[in-house]
Structure 1
Amino acid sequence: MSISQTSSVSPGALWTGRVLSAIIVLFMIFDGAIKLPPLDIVTQTMVPLGWPADPNVARMLGIIGLISTALYALPRTSVLGAILLTAYMGGAIATKVRVDSPLFSHTLFGVYLGIILWGGLYLRDARVRALIPFSR
């Protein structure tokens, strides 16, 4: 028995999920794209976080983020993309904890993105709703 990707959710909830997912995709495209060229502002803001001011490190992080985002945006691989983006954000959270960034504005930003990411996927994908049944 196959679960249709949009079964048992209202059109409003489906569109809310799509909008939430689009917010994540657009943010992550911006985040990844600014890491690809050797921008001095990107590499210099990495230094206080404990990362080297190396354009290749920034580029690697950008590529990882963009690939994970592409996987998240494609319906067939959206769950894998969500898992990879969650790991990516976990690394960002760990970095912020290590440098003692402000909790609610900086450190938990990755948590906020993760909630939006999984909330959007939950609303637009019946497979995820079947895996995580909040109500029956």
Structure 2
Amino acid sequence: MQTVPQIAPASSSATLWIGRALSGLIVLFMIFDGVIKLPPLDIVTQTMVELGWPADPNVARMLGIIGLISTALYALPRTSVLGAILLTAYMGGAIATKVRVDSPLFSHTLFGVYLGIILWAGLFLRNPKLRALIPLTR
């Protein structure tokens, strides 16, 4: 007979609030990142050229919209796991771009990894279903 795993209760309200704070940092950063790509600002198109992307405002807008939609999905509790997966893919693209242009490893290339760790840690701490699915201890 197979048993259904129980959802682990939050160990404390501090855990929930730390998760919300970490997730909030990611949401704020990604809103900033997406919004500056919508006009797009000159610094955005200049940086895109340095990274090997075309200086096309429509490409910048598309990336900004993808980032903002993924962020909105991450911020909403019902779609937060989907949003986390999409943001992880977005960060993977950024990491691949940085690797391709041989950016400094710890400050630039791994920045997407750092954001991904914070993103998933925040979601893990605020989502009891995710903690039950991926228990860190048995």
Q: Select 1:63's aligned residue among 37, 53, 65.
A: 65
Identity of aligned residues (%): 81
The answer on whether the counterparts of 2:45 and 2:60 sit within 8 Å (CA) in structure 1 is: yes
Superposition misfits of 4+ residues, deviation over 3 angstroms: 1-4
How many residues are paired up? Answer: 135
Higher mean displacement: 111-120 or 123-132: 123-132
- 8 Å Cα contact 2:10-2:16 kept in structure 1: no
Where does residue 104 of structure 2 map in the other structure? 102
Matches for 1:108-127 after TM superposition, within 5 Å: 108-127=110-129
Between the aligned partners of 1:109 and 1:28, the Cα distance in structure 2 is 13
**Alpha-carbon shift at residue 38 of structure 1 (Å):** 2.9
Residues 2 and 26 of structure 1, relative CA distance in 2, 3 Å threshold: farther
Return the TM-score normalized by structure 2: 0.93
Structure 1 residue 72 and structure 2 residue 78: aligned?
no
Q: Show structure 1 runs of 5+ residues with no match.
A: none
Q: Does 1:8 align with 2:10?
A: yes
Question: Matches of 1:73 and 1:21 in 2, distance apart?
Answer: 8
TM-aligned CA distance change 1:3 to 1:34, over 3 Å: farther
SS of 1:34's equivalent in the other structure is helix
- What is the TM-score when the length of structure 1 is the normalising length? 0.94
Does the 8 Å contact 1:9/1:123 carry over to 2?
no
Choose which of 39, 48, 51 in structure 2 pairs with 1:49: 51
1:2 and 1:20 map into 2 onto residues whose CA distance is 27
